[in-house]
Every structure is written in C-alpha cells, then in structure tokens.
Structure 1
Amino acid sequence: MEWQNRNILIIGMARSGISSAKLCSRLGAKVKIQDMKKREELIPFMEEEINLLESMGIELILGEDPEPIIESQDLIVLSPGVPTDLEFLQKAKQMNIPVWSEIELGYVLCPCPIIAITGTNGKTTTTTLVGEIMKAYHPDTYVVGNIGTPFTDKVEQMKQQDFVVAEISSFQLETIHTFKPKVSAILNITPDHLNRHKTFENYVSAKERIFENQDSDDFCVLNEEDDICRKMKGKMCAQIIPFSRKKELDEGVFVKDDEIYVKWNKINTGICKISDLQILGDHNVENALAATAITICMGVPVEIIRNILIGFKGVEHRIEYVDTIDGVQYYNDSKATNVDAAIIGIKAMKRPIVLIGGGMDKGADFTEWIDVFPNKVKYLILIGETSDKIIQTAHEKGFFNIKKASSINEAVILAKEIAVSGDCVLLSPACASWDMFKSYEERGEMFKQAVYALKG
C-alpha cells in the first residue's frame, strides 16, 4: 500500500490507536484520530500524548461522531475496544473503505514470521512463555498484541530474520483481512464477550479468523480436548499440531507418564516432567503443552524449550502469589476476567479459599463458577456491578457465605477478618474490571497494595 498523503482515520485513543496514528504519520499519511471522549475528559490522563500527536500534525477529532468525514478516508484503523456494528463503520463498508484492526496494520508492514495465539483463557501466559522460548532461540523476538505492547509500536524495528509472538483477541480478529501467521494457536473456546459478539457462534467465528488465510506451509496448534477446537479441523488449510493433557496422541504434544512429550515430524521425546514446572494448575500444563507445540513448529531445539519451561515462573496477575500473612496465603488472579478463567484459579488452590470476585457485567452466567465452590470456597466477598446478580445465583445454588464490599481495600480487610491460618485469599473476579478500574492490571496492583498494607 502507498502511504504517502493517504487519508487515514484512527478510531479510538487507547494504546493501539495512538500507536497506529503515530506509525501512519511517520509513513507520510494524513492522519486523523477520533475518540468519543471530549478533550477535557482526556487531558487529565494523556495531555503529553495529545500534545505529541498534534505536534506530529495528527488531527484530533474528540467528542464528535466521525460519520461526516468517512467518505474522504482511504483507510480506517479500528481500536479493539470499538464495536464493529457502529453506523459510521457500516457506512464505510458500503463505500468500500477498508476497516482494519491495528493487528492488520502491523501485519501489512511486518517483514518477519508471526506466531499468533488466541483462545478464551491462557493467552497471556502462553504468549509470554512462547516469547521467552523464542527469545532464548533468537534474541530479536518481539512479543506484541493484546498482551500490552501494540504491534504497530515495534513493527518499524523488525527485520526479516526476526520473529513476532502476538497475543490476539477476538476483537482484533474481527477486522483482519490478509493477516497470515506462520503459526496460529487456539488454546480453548468458552463463552466470553457476549455483550460485544451477541452470540457464542459469532464469538467462535471471530476466533476462527486467525487461521483463515493460512495455507499448507503454515501450522495451527489446537487443543484436542476442546470440543469447539476439534470442530475447526475441517475448516483450515494449515498443518494441524494437536496438544492434549488427558490422552496420548498418535502425533502432537501430550502428557505421557507425567511428562510433556513430543511426537511430531521425526521428534519422539520427552521434554520435562510436569512436576518440574513452577506454574500451578492443570490449565498451566495445557499452556506449557501449547507453547511446546508452537515452538517445535518454529524449529526451536528441545533443550531450549526444556530449560525455559522449567524456569518459567508465570505471569503477573494470573494466580500470582503475593504474600503470606498470619498463615494466610494471598493470590492475585485479577486476569481471570471471565467465569472459566476464575474456575481455573479456584481449582489451582490447595487451601480453603476466601474468594474476592465481581466486577463489570459482560452478560455472563455465574452458575458454573459457583458450582465449583463446594469443598473449595468457604466465603465470597463481592465488589462491582455484578454483585447482586452473583448473590442471586449463589443463593439459588445454596451458597450464603457472602459479603459485599465497596472497594478492593475493603474487600481485602474483610478477607483478613474471615480467613484463618491455613486458608488462602484469592482475588479471581470472573468479571471484567472496567466498572471500577482502568484495567485488570490496575485492579491487581490495588489488590496487592491492599495486601501489603495489612502488615501496617
């Protein structure tokens, strides 16, 4: 694509939108960036960014609908938080104006092979683990995407011999066009983001887009134990590399005699014992299996994979050990932003749990979450807008040990009063954070600070 003097409109002033705007401007395009927040709403948080964008000649359209300028644009780049069914975007499609995700923009400019990882749960841990393995194999490996660093932030630094490891969300996949990773991975699929996608079928369709442009020279890593993932096999042209925690496979990556084992492409060997892993829980065994499959596809030697798997200590905000106070262990699982992720957190704990949950309502049903409480959760403390909905479901299921808190600090103080030596306090919300916090990271940080404050 010719970039010089092209009219490009960026929708959304979050990290990826700002990064896209700067990149397009550096390429010589005429860039506008739009956000429905007004300037006075944004200034307290991002005055420096606003000044930088304007100094680059980027026009800011704040607090206004972009519909009047749509027809003059050559390309629209959409931030992942912006729904695709907005009226002005429908108008753009009718006028054949391309609407790209920031991931598509990064891909079009990327000179090197891409590993793309999606799924409902485990994306960040697996992406981080794959990134560590690939960096040990080739130091110039870039870890980008939904994990926090925009693809467009790093693409100008990339060289042909480098590698990209990208965490990709369903929101980002909705507006890809030519995006074609060398290795794609779908870790699992369970209902999530139904407030955005409307139906589970739409959500699955968005996830499937990760492999739609792949061919027989590419690879797709799939969870053999996930019913939805298995059904995808007939829809792809890529070579399929399955992984399984529960059964031995004729070909793929699996657990055999308590060991991660590879049987694929002339490789037939154990990698490491499950007991050698430092990350807790069955879900993390699956993440390690997926990471092994992905990096084997990329030609990484078994010894490098083994060393990184054994040394990997996990990801911040995902079943992260915080401290032990008066015999009570505290864990930060703020990244459990949906029911399935929170169930995983509960199952990973070996002690009676005082659980802190709740947050923004994404339309989830909390029945399955509460179904795993017996013999695991002794008390539930709730924050956020889903509190009453969760209480109703819990009462229907016969669970009544519940208190509400107005803040994360109050929740931690209540948890300390309830927990006794030998228990654990687990923040695993089963909900998004945006009703009370800027992000799940902020929620996790505030939880940790509240825990440290208990020491006085």
Structure 2
Amino acid sequence: MEWQKKNILIIGMARSGISSAKLCSRLGANVKLQDMKTREELIANMAEEINLLEGMGIQLILGEDPEPIIDTQDLIILSPGVPTDLGFIQKAKRMNIPVWSEIELGYVLCSCPIVAITGTNGKTTTTTLVGEIMKAYNPNTHVVGNIGTPFTERVEQIKQTDIVVAEISSFQLETIHTFKPKVSAILNITPDHLNRHKTYENYISAKERIFENQDSSDFCILDEDDEICRKMKEKVRAQIVPFSRKKELDKGVFVKGDEIYVKWNEINAGICKTSDLQILGDHNVENALAATAITICMGVPAEVVKKILISFKGVEHRIEYVDTVEGVQYYNDSKATNVDAAIIGIKAMKRPIVLIGGGMDKGADFTEWVNMFPDRVKHLVLIGETTDQIIQTAHEKGFFNISKASSLNEAVTLAKNIAVSGDCVLLSPACASWDMFKSYEERGDLFKQAVYALKG
C-alpha cells in the first residue's frame, strides 16, 4: 500500500491507537486520531502525549462523532475496544472504505514469520511462554499484541530474520483482512465478551478468523480436548497440530504418563515431565502443551523447548503467589476476567479459600463458578457492579458465606479477618476490571500493595 498523503482515521486514543497514529504519520499519511473523550477529560493524564501527537501533525478529533468525515478517508483503523457495530463504521463499510485492526496494520508492514495465539483463557501465559522459548532459539523475537505492546509500536524495528509472537483477542480479529500467521493457535473456547459479540456463535466466528488466510504451508494448533476447537478442523486449510492433556494422540503433542510427549514429523519423544513444570494447575499443563506444539512447528529443537518449559515461572496477575501473612497464603489472579478463568484459579488452590470476586458486568452467568465453591471456598468477598447478581446466584445455589466491600482495600481487610492459618486468600474476580480500575493489571497491583501493607 502507498502511504504518502493517504487520509487515515484512527479510532480510539488508547495505546494501540496512539501507536498506529504515530506509525502512519511517520509513513507520510495524513492522520486523524479520534476519541469520544473530550480534550479536558484526556489532558489530565495525557498532556505530554497530546502535545507530541499534535507536534507530529496528527489532528485530534476529541469528544466528537467522526461520522461527518468518514467519506473523506482512505482507511480506518479501529482500536480493539471500539465496537464494530457503530454507525460510522457501518457507513464506512457501505462506502467500501477499509476498516482494519491495529494487528492488520502491523501485519501489512511486517516481513518476518508470525505466531498468533488466541483462545478464551491462557493466552497471556502461553504467549509469554512461547516468547521465552522463541527468544532462546532466536534472540530477535518480538512479543506483541493483546499482551501489552502494540504490534505497530515494534514493526519498524522488525527484520526479515526476526520472529513475532502475538497474543490476539477476538476484538482484534474482527477487523483483520489479509492477516496470515505462520503458526496460529486456538487454546480453548468458552463464552466470553458476549456484551460485545452479542452471541456465542459470533464470538466463535471471530476466533476462527485467526486461521482463515492460512494455507497448507502454515500450521494451526488446536485443543483436541475442546469440543468447539475440534469442530473447527474442517474449516482449517493449514496443517493441524492438535494437543491434548486428556488422551494420547496418533500425532500431535499430548500427555503420556507424566510426560509432555511429541509425535509429529520426525519427532517421537518425551520433552519433559509435567511434574517438572513450575506453573500450577492442569490449565498450565495445557498451556505448556500448546507452547510446545507452536515452537516445534517453528523449528525449535526439543532440548531448547525443555529448558524453558521447566524454568518458566508464569506471568504476573495469573495465579501469582504474593505473600504469606500469619499462615495465610495470598494469590493474585486478577487476570481471571471471566468465569472459566476464575474456575481454573479455584481448582489450582490446595487450601480452603477466602475468595475475592466481582467487577464489571460482561453479561456472564456465574452459576458454574458458584458451583465450584462447595468444599473449596469458605467465604466470598465481593466488589464491583456484579455484586448483587453474584449474591443472587450464590443464594440460589445455597451458598451464603458472603461479604460486600466498597473497595479492594476493604475486601483485603475483610478477607484477612476471615482467613485463618492454613487458608489462602485468592483474588480471582470472574469479571472485567473496568468498573473500578483502569485494567486488570492495576487491580492486581493494588491487591498486592494491600497484601504487603498487612504486615505493617
């Protein structure tokens, strides 16, 4: 694509939108960056960034609907948080104006092989683990995407001999066009983000787009234990490499006895014991299986894969041990932003749990989460806008040991007063963070600060 003097409108003034705007400006495009927040709302935290953007010649459209200027644009780039059913987006599509995700923009400018990882749960852990394995094999590996670093922030530094490992959300996949990773992976599928996607089928379809442009020279990693992932096989044109924790496979990556085992092409051997992994829980065995499949397809030797698998300690905010206070262990699982992720957190605990949950309402049903409480959760402390909904579900299921808190600090104090030596306190909200916090990272960081403060 010829970028000089193209009119490009970028929607959403968060990190990926800002990164895209700067990149397009450097490429010589006429860039407009729009956000529904006003200048006054943004200036308190972004004064320096606003000055920098305007200094680059980027026009900011703040607090205004961009619909009146849509027909003058050559390309629209959406930040992941922006719904695709907005009126001005529909107008652009009717006018055949391309609407891209930031991931598509990065892909178009990238010259090296890409590993793309999606799924409802485990994306960040698996992406981080794959990134560490790939860096051990090729130090010029870039870990980008939904994990925190926009693809467009790195793409100008990426060389043909490098490797990109990208965590990709369903929001980002909604507006890809030519995106074609060398290896794609779908780790699992359970209902999530239904407030955005409207139906489970729409959510599944968004996830499936990760492999839609692949061909027989590419690889697609799928969870053999997940019914929806198994059904995807008939749509995949790439070489399918399945992984399974529950059964031995004729080909793929699976658990054999106590070993992560590879039976693929010329490899027919164990990689390491599952008991050698430092990350807790069955879900992390599955993440390790997926990471093994991905990196073997990328040509990484088995001994390199093993070295990183057995040394990897996990990621921040995902079943992260924080501290022990008066015999009570505290775990930060703030990244459990949906029911299935929170169930995984409960299953990973080996002690009676005082659970801190609740947050932004994403249209979730909390029944399955509450069903995990008997014999595991001794008390539930709730924060956020889903508090009453969760209480209603818990009462319907016969669980009544519940307290409300107006802040995370208060929740930690309540949990401390309830827990006794031999228990654990687990922050695993089953909800998004945006009702009270900027991100799940901020929520997790504040939880850790509150725990450290318990020691005075």
| Match of residue 406 from structure 1 | 406
Instruction: Give the equivalent residue in structure 2 for 1:378.
Output: 378
Instruction: Give the equivalent residue in structure 1 for 2:10.
Output: 10
Q: Distance in 1 between matches of 2:148 and 2:14?
A: 11
Aligned to 1:422: 422
The one-letter code matched in structure 2 to 1:17 is G
Counterpart residue number, 2:145: 145
**Secondary structure in 1 matching 2:388:** helix
The residue that corresponds to 1:337 in the other structure is: 337
Aligned residue identity for 1:425: V
1:412, distance to aligned residue in structure 2 (A): 0.3
Q: Report the counterpart of residue 223 of structure 2 in structure 1.
A: 223
Tell me the residue number matched to 2:235: 235
CA distance in 2, matches of 1:53, 1:265: 50
Distance in 1, matches of 2:38 and 2:162, equals: 40
Residues paired across the two proteins, number: 456
Normalised to the residue count of structure 2, the TM-score between the two structures is 1.00
Alignment of 1:152-301 (within 5 A): 152-301=152-301
1:9 CA displacement:
0.2
In structure 2, how many angstroms separate the alpha carbons of the residues matched to 1:335 and 1:179? 27
Amino acid at match of 2:346: I
Please tell me the residue identity of whatever aligns with 1:108.
Answer: V
RMSD: 0.3
> 1:354-369 maps to which residues of 2 (within 5 A)?
354-369=354-369
Aligned to 1:123: 123
Alignment partner, residue 438 of structure 1: 438
The C-alpha deviation readout for 1:292-325, integer Å capped at 9, x for no partner, is 0000000000000000000000000000000000
Which residue number corresponds to residue 69 of structure 1?
Answer: 69
Which whole-Å CA distance do the structure 1 matches of 2:437 and 2:169 have between them?
20
Aligned pairs for 1:33-72 (under 5 A) are: 33-72=33-72
Aligned to 1:89: 89
Matching residue of 1:134? 134
CA distance, structure 1, for counterparts of residue 299 and residue 148 of structure 2: 26
SS of 1:311's equivalent in the other structure is coil
Q: What TM-score does the superposition give when structure 1 sets the normalisation length?
A: 1.00
Aligned to 1:25, the other structure's residue is in SS state: helix
Give the C-alpha shift of residue 236 in structure 1: 1.0
Look up the equivalent residue of 2:271 and give its one-letter code: I
Q: Does 1:25 align with 2:32?
A: no
Deviation at 1:185, TM superposition (A): 0.1
Q: Which amino acid aligns with 2:30?
A: K
- Residue identity in the other structure for 2:428: S
* Structure 1 SS opposite 2:76: strand
Moved over 2 A (4+): none
Counterpart CA distance in 2 for 1:108 and 1:255 is 37
Displacement of 1:257:
1.2
Question: Secondary structure of the equivalent of 2:60?
Answer: strand
Matched residue SS, 1:50: helix
SS in 1 for 2:91: helix
Name stretches of at least 5 consecutive residues in structure 2 with no aligned partner. none
Partner of 1:396: 396
What secondary structure, in the 3-state scheme, does the structure 1 residue paired with 2:57 have?
coil
Q: CA deviation at 1:45?
A: 1.1
Displacement of 1:13: 0.2
Q: Residue deviations 1:312-343, cap 9 Å, x none? A: 00000000000000000000000000000000
* Cα distance in structure 2, aligned partners of 1:379 and 1:271: 40
Equivalent residue letter for 1:308: I
